[in-house]
Structure 1
């Protein structure tokens, strides 16, 4: 089994003075949710997600050795970086990047040798209510791995992507599922070869054509900041009265999805995905302190989807992240009917009528 220490380099064969890379990385939507984590961003239970295609972060990383840089902003503890969001300095993002660099320094010992300029942008609207931490941390991790590969060109592709996913996880847990697509598992699961708590792996089993190019239309119910952060929510799973049963349920549902993905059973898929979404929010409502991230319009949308599915037998379902927005999931061959339903009946529940059409994608890409 691969251990975290396997990703600590002993030495580098090359030197690199300066340069830049640019990577895009997508968001992802979990089907089996992880909620609750152990030390060092280790998940309390495994999860599986669809990698998205259109909702992504594009990050350019410029770097220069400190001894040749003319304008270095050296911080007290020797990490040196400037951060731009959509071309403008973004000071309030800097503490999160600082913490990320501190966590990953053991794996990338060259970090304090360089001054970095991180220039990042999202393809989806800022403050749209879509979590950008997964795509943002994955894109940054890919860039840093490109620099490490320049320092160590003999690095294998497997090692490159596994380590990128490991680094992304240390910035944002779900970011480890945004490195490679299309269906990604994160967390140890007996029936999934090579699965690991340390990084995401591509789902290794057969996937029926029903799930190829699956669609995800994201209904932006509430674009405000969540009143409870995901980090706080995860921590509330410690001593949660239903935690152990929930963790076991996630393993069971992931096992069930192996068969479902192979058979193409959309009805069984819908039951697990919707149950997982509601269970996630049930954990929030039964923690201490308890909290509710769904909004009244979230419930209106869920009920409308159930009614539409019952009346038409069209295999459309919903899932939720830790927030109020609704991800509407459906096969590509029913896109026209589902999009018409969304326009006719669901857009009115969205803030400013906003929604985003997305679908399964392939993970991070060098731009």
Structure 2
């Protein structure tokens, strides 16, 4: 049986750092993010007796190494939960991204969310979004939040009932615009997660992260745009400090990244525009603002000499209808 799903990548607002369990992808602490659209991953999967083994293609290239291992874990989890006789067959997966990958724009979140959603449909699972988020988490913890969409909160835990994502409804979604400043620079998030706990900043981050989560949830509930994205900006600096003080001293930012930071602060401090920068593990920058100011903000980011795009808040992962073009 074949199914196609689409999912949007996430921008971390209060980001997780470090994995308690790398196999189950259990983070040390909670995290909150927002899905970004129309950027997306579209994935088609098929269980078939003609498939001797699992085959995974992303943007036309076969997946190998640790990414393949994580995809296998999602497939096996779906098989264990499914009663469909065809779920024992090999899987063919083809996925394509509408945006650049490995540059800090969350492609792993949307990719693993889309495959988990498509696999569950193809295996005839009657799963809630929360249950799907726990399956997708086996590929990437951020994929759990990509499944539930919008502003979502992934709770830390040691099992699938606790460590799953929940949507936080907020009216700021209607006015929230995200200007992306694309700064190409290959990165490997797993390297940063593996050594996070060895940074002398890690325990300091753990000490304040629970208050950050509570503040962010409250700000979202009260539709307080400035408070949400002031938190996102400060959390980006905290994440980078922890990453840069690990054993390898990873520095993901580039001069263009810092130039965008300066442009954002100038808009906010001199022109009184509600605008805040945010980064995940990478050099590219999310610039959060409102619809009223988005054109001015995009112009300022583009003046830094980078490619830009304007995104908005995306919804949950979903199954596409047959006429919406499967990949094979």
Q: Please say whether Structure 1 and Structure 2 have the same fold, judged by a TM-score greater than 0.5.
A: yes
- Residues 103 and 283 in structure 2, CA contact (< 8 A), matched pair in contact too: no
Change over 3 Å in CA distance of 1:308–1:237 after alignment to 2: same
- Residues 53 and 358 in structure 1, CA contact (< 8 A), matched pair in contact too: yes
Deviation at 1:44, TM superposition (A): 0.8
1:294 is aligned to 253
Out of 130, 136, 160, the residue aligned to residue 128 of structure 2 is 160
Matches within 5 A, 1:58-207: 58-64=42-48, 66=49, 69=50, 72=51, 74=52, 80-86=53-59, 88=60, 90-93=61-64, 96-102=67-73, 105-106=76-77, 108-109=79-80, 113-125=88-100, 130-148=105-123, 150=124, 155=126, 159-188=127-156, 197-203=162-168, 207=170
Change over 3 Å in CA distance of 1:260–1:131 after alignment to 2: closer
- Please say which of residues 27-36 and 265-274 is displaced more in the overlay: 265-274
Change over 3 Å in CA distance of 1:300–1:306 after alignment to 2: same
Matches within 5 A, 1:1-367: 19-39=1-21, 40-64=24-48, 66=49, 69=50, 72=51, 74=52, 80-86=53-59, 88=60, 90-93=61-64, 96-102=67-73, 105-106=76-77, 108-109=79-80, 113-125=88-100, 130-148=105-123, 150=124, 155=126, 159-188=127-156, 197-203=162-168, 207=170, 209-221=171-183, 223-226=184-187, 229-343=188-302, 345-346=303-304, 348=305, 350=306, 354-367=307-320
- Please say which of residues 109-118 and 245-254 is displaced more in the overlay: 109-118
Deviation at 1:103, TM superposition (A): 5.9
Which blocks of at least 5 consecutive residues in structure 1 are unaligned?
1-18, 75-79, 190-194
Residue-by-residue CA offset, 1:282-328 (whole Å, 9 max, x unaligned): 00122223221111111111011101111111101100010111101
Q: Matches of 1:286 and 1:128 in 2, distance apart? A: 21
Which blocks of at least 5 consecutive residues in structure 2 are unaligned?
321-328
Larger Rg: 1
Normalising by structure 1, we get a TM-score of: 0.78
Change over 3 Å in CA distance of 1:270–1:102 after alignment to 2: closer
Deviation at 1:91, TM superposition (A): 2.7
Normalising by structure 2, we get a TM-score of: 0.87
- Residues 74 and 116 in structure 2, CA contact (< 8 A), matched pair in contact too: no
- Please say which of residues 271-280 and 159-168 is displaced more in the overlay: 159-168
Q: Matches of 2:172 and 2:63 in 1, distance apart? A: 43
Q: Matches of 1:329 and 1:337 in 2, distance apart? A: 12
What SS does the corresponding residue of 1:58 show, helix, strand or coil? strand
- Residues 57 and 120 in structure 1, CA contact (< 8 A), matched pair in contact too: yes
Q: Matches of 2:41 and 2:297 in 1, distance apart? A: 27
Deviation at 1:213, TM superposition (A): 4.1
Change over 3 Å in CA distance of 1:215–1:284 after alignment to 2: same
The aligned length equals 312
Deviation at 1:130, TM superposition (A): 3.1
Q: Matches of 2:239 and 2:217 in 1, distance apart? A: 21
- Residues 215 and 329 in structure 1, CA contact (< 8 A), matched pair in contact too: yes
Residue-by-residue CA offset, 1:160-214 (whole Å, 9 max, x unaligned): 322221111111121111012211000249xxxxx965221112xx62x344341
- Residues 220 and 326 in structure 1, CA contact (< 8 A), matched pair in contact too: yes
- Residues 52 and 363 in structure 1, CA contact (< 8 A), matched pair in contact too: no
